[in-house]
Chain A
Amino acid sequence: GGIITQTPKFLIGQEGQKLTLKCQQNFNHDTMYWYRQDSGKGLRLIYYSITENDLQKGDLSEGYDASREKKSSFSLTVTSAQKNEMAVFLCASSIVGGSNERLFFGHGTKLSVL
C-alpha cells in the first residue's frame, strides 16, 4: 500500500499572501492532481500533472501555480490569498492517468485567510 501526505494540515494566511501547499506520494503513480473543495460543493480541478515536470490546467487554475518537481511530489501555490477565503485543498494521484483509473486522495490542507 501507499500513502499521500499533504502538508501542512492547516494553513492560515493573510490577504494578498503567497501560500504553498505540498503533496508527497509513495505509490510511484504517474499522475497527480490538485482539487479544491468548498463547503457543500464538489471537487474542482485546479492543476494536474501526468509526469515529472508536466503541468496541465484544470477548470480553476487562475490564481494558482503548481510545480511537479519530481515524480513523488506536487506542490500548489496560491499566488495571492483572498480575504475570508476558506477551502480544503485535496491532492490525489493515480497510476497511469487514464480517467478510468482509481484516484487516491490525501487528507487535505484546510486553508483559512484572515
Chain B
Amino acid sequence: QQQVRQSSQSLTVWEGETAILNCSYENSAFDYFPWYQQFPGEGPALLIAIRSVSDKKEDGRFTIFFNKREKNLSLHIKDSQPGDSATYFCAASENSNNRIFFGDGTQLVVKP
C-alpha cells in the first residue's frame, strides 16, 4: 500500500497562475512533510517542509497547507514562472525512524 499519494502525475498552468499540487498520506504517525523539487538530470532538492503541529508554512511564493484530520496537504505555487517547471515530490516521515516515504511526483509545466 502506497504511503504517500500525489493526485496528479502532471499539471500544466500558465505563467502568473497559482499551481496547486495535492498530496495525501496513510500513516497518522507521520509528522514531517517535505516537498522536494527535481529538475531534469538532477537529484531532488528540498523546497519547503511542514511539521504536523502547523497547518500552514509559507516561503516566498511557495505555501504548504496541511490538514491533519483529512491526512492531506497541498503545495501552492503563487505567480508560477516557467523556471518552476519541474517534478515535485511530496514526502512524509515519522520522527521515530530513519524512513522517508515519497509520492510518485507531479510534473509541473508552466507555460509562458
Known contacts A43-B44, A48-B98; is A102 also within 8 Å of B104 by CB? no
> In the complex, what residues of A have CB within 8 A of residue B97's CB?
99
Q: Give the distance to chain A from B20, nearest Cβ to Cβ, in Å.
A: 19
> In the complex, what residues of B have CB within 8 A of residue A106's CB?
43
> In the complex, what residues of B have CB within 8 A of residue A105's CB?
42-45
Q: Give the distance to chain A from B28, nearest Cβ to Cβ, in Å.
A: 15
Residues of A15-49 contacting chain B, CB below 8 A? 31, 35, 40-45, 48
B13 contacts A by Cβ under 8 Å? no
Contact with B along A88-114 (1 / 0, CB 8 A): 001010000111101111111000000
Q: Are B89 and A43 in contact (CB under 8 A)?
A: yes
> In the complex, what residues of A have CB within 8 A of residue B94's CB?
99
Instruction: Give the size of the chain A interface in residues (CB under 8 angstroms).
Output: 26
Q: How far is the CA of A104 from the CA of B46 in the complex (A)?
A: 8
Q: How far is the CA of A72 from the CA of B44 in the complex (A)?
A: 20
Partner of B103, one of A35, A42, A97, A108: A42
Q: Give the distance to chain A from B56, nearest Cβ to Cβ, in Å.
A: 18
Residues of B53-112 contacting chain A, CB below 8 A? 89, 93-95, 97-100, 102-105
Partner of B98, one of A35, A40, A97: A97
Q: How far is the CA of A34 from the CA of B44 in the complex (A)?
A: 13
Known contacts A42-B102, A56-B98; is A99 also within 8 Å of B32 by CB? yes
> In the complex, what residues of B have CB within 8 A of residue A99's CB?
32, 93-95, 97-100
A87 contacts B by Cβ under 8 Å? no
Known contacts A40-B9, A43-B89, A100-B32; is A107 also within 8 Å of B98 by CB? no
Q: Give the distance to chain A from B27, nearest Cβ to Cβ, in Å.
A: 12
> In the complex, what residues of B have CB within 8 A of residue A97's CB?
98
A78 contacts B by Cβ under 8 Å? no
A50 contacts B by Cβ under 8 Å? yes
Q: Give the distance to chain B from A106, nearest Cβ to Cβ, in Å.
A: 5
> In the complex, what residues of A have CB within 8 A of residue B34's CB?
102
Chain A residues close to B by CB (< 8 Å)? 4, 31, 35, 40-45, 48, 50, 56, 58, 90, 92, 97-100, 102-108
